[in-house]
């Protein structure tokens, strides 16, 4: 049975957040918006790394892997949001862009975490 796209996106974001929190990340913002940019998850990875995460959930890999759907335009918007976040938070150290890709699996959702996916 196909899951509606909106539900799959919501479930994927929830699963990605649970996964990252279990890995020791701390949530700072969810669905952070700046102008036309939206960042699904903004987290801190101790001790002092700011991580902006794009979550991509797909109902199958039939037309490609979820991580392949983070376009150059989306990357530009994420960089714009990152600049704003750095200024707003007065963030003194490094930032990183990650992708969490999710696809249905027998046991729920298969999660792949791509650290430092782009700059």
Provide CATH code, domain 5-118: 3.40.1350.10
What are the tens digits of pLDDT across the range 75-108? Answer: 999 999 999 999 998 998 899 999 999 988 777 7
Distance, in Å, from the CA atom of 18 to the CA atom of 43, rounded to the nearest integer, reads 12
Reply yes or no on whether the pLDDT at 6 is more than 70: no
Q: What is the mean pLDDT of residues 2-27?
A: 85
Reply yes or no on whether the pLDDT at 31 is more than 60: yes
pLDDT in the model for residue 4: 62
Q: What is the mean pLDDT of residues 34-60?
A: 91
Distance, in Å, from the CA atom of 97 to the CA atom of 116, rounded to the nearest integer, reads 5
Reply yes or no on whether the pLDDT at 27 is more than 80: yes
Domain boundaries, given as residue ranges, for the chain:
5-118
How does residue 1 score in pLDDT terms, banded at 50, 70 and 90? very low
- Assess whether the previous peptide bond of 47 is cis (omega < 30° from 0): yes
């Amino acid at each position: 049975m196909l899951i509606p796209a909106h539900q799959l996106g919501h479930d994927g974001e929830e699963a990605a957040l649970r996964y990252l929190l279990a890995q020791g990340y701390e949530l700072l913002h969810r669905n952070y918006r700046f102008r036309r940019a939206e960042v699904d998850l903004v987290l801190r990875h101790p001790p002092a790394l700011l991580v902006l995460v794009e979550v991509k959930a797909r109902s199958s890999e039939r037309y490609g892997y979820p991580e392949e759907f983070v376009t150059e335009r989306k990357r530009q918007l994420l960089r714009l949001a990152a600049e704003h976040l750095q200024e707003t938070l007065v963030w003194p150290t490094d930032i990183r862009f990650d992708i969490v890709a999710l696809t249905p699996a027998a046991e729920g959702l298969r999660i792949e975490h791509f650290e430092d996916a782009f700059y």
